[in-house]
Chains A and B, each alone.
Chain A
């Protein structure tokens, strides 16, 4: 996991997890983890039409997981590894928030218990 991954907004995280919830899109991401590929190359292992694959690519692109270059004719797809890493590191961030929050709560509870008037 890359610890320098940029933080994702909640919307981006949701879009990323929603994008990864589909098996075809996971297969596409797994293929792109090995290197950039064109839509035709991505479509070949699937029994799917190009428009169907394009639809999946749009979802992935919207989530930020992949990017497509605008200039090249075949518009190869590229996996944005930092976005994937950020989604995976969501768990670490959440754990840190709850750890820090509960550290404060433990302090607060000991204040309250020593001074019941505050409760």
Chain B
């Protein structure tokens, strides 16, 4: 795995698309585009239930519908940063999760999108708290693995 994984509560995810940066960025804020891909496999995101107000402080709402049983998963987020076509940051109000997407023009109509998703409540996000918290959570998870191996072996 080439992506960095600093802690159990953070996700870094990178993907390169064969499309120009402006278009890839538009896909992330335009309901017509979003409804085509926002739901993961087996999950739809009906266009009429997507709301996007792409500016700092604006709303970003979706409802994902499970194709198999019709169960619904509504999400509600507030945009923190909208810098077209470079960067999008939104915070899910139902989960407290913050997600940033950074769009890099690689030339030849290729675009790299980097996703950084954090699940740590805002309170622990000050730079000082972050250093201590993330490194200790990392160590902690390693320590638990060690205990687990010891009790199994």
B144 nearest in chain A by CB position: A33
Taking a contact as CB atoms under 8 Å apart, the answer to whether B113 and A102 are in contact is yes
Chain A residue numbers with a CB within 8 Å of B23 are 109, 112-113, 119
For A87, the chain B residues whose CB sits under 8 A away are 8-9
Q: Taking A14-B121, A84-B144, A88-B141 as contacts, is the C-beta distance between A106 and B17 under 8 angstroms?
A: yes
Report the Cα distance A13→B119, complex, angstroms. Answer: 8
**B147 adjacent to chain A (CB < 8 Å):** yes
Interface residues on A, range: 35 or more
Pick from A18, A30, A110, A113: contact of B140, CB under 8 Å: A30
Taking the closest CB of chain B, its distance from the CB of A24, in whole angstroms, is 12
B interface: dominant SS: mixed
* Nearest CB of B to A94, in Å: 5
Pick from B46-54, B82-90, B93-101 the stretch touching chain A.
Answer: B93-101
Contact A95:B13 (CB < 8 A) given known A17-B120, A108-B27: yes
Contacts of B141 in A (CB 8 A): 88
Residue B11 CB within 8 A of the other chain: yes
Closest-CB distance, B53 to chain A (whole angstroms): 21
A91 and B136 in contact, given A98-B115, A101-B37, A109-B23 (Cβ under 8 angstroms): no
The digit string for B18-47, where 1 denotes a CB below 8 A from any CB of A, is 110001100100000100111111000000
CB contact between A88 and one of B8, B37, B40, B41 (< 8 Å): that residue: B8
Provide 21 A-B residue pairs closer than 8 Å at the C-beta atoms, listed in order of the A residue.
A10-B96, A14-B96, A18-B124, A20-B137, A29-B144, A30-B143, A87-B8, A90-B8, A91-B11, A94-B13, A95-B11, A95-B13, A101-B38, A101-B40, A102-B15, A104-B37, A105-B17, A106-B18, A108-B37, A109-B24, A113-B23
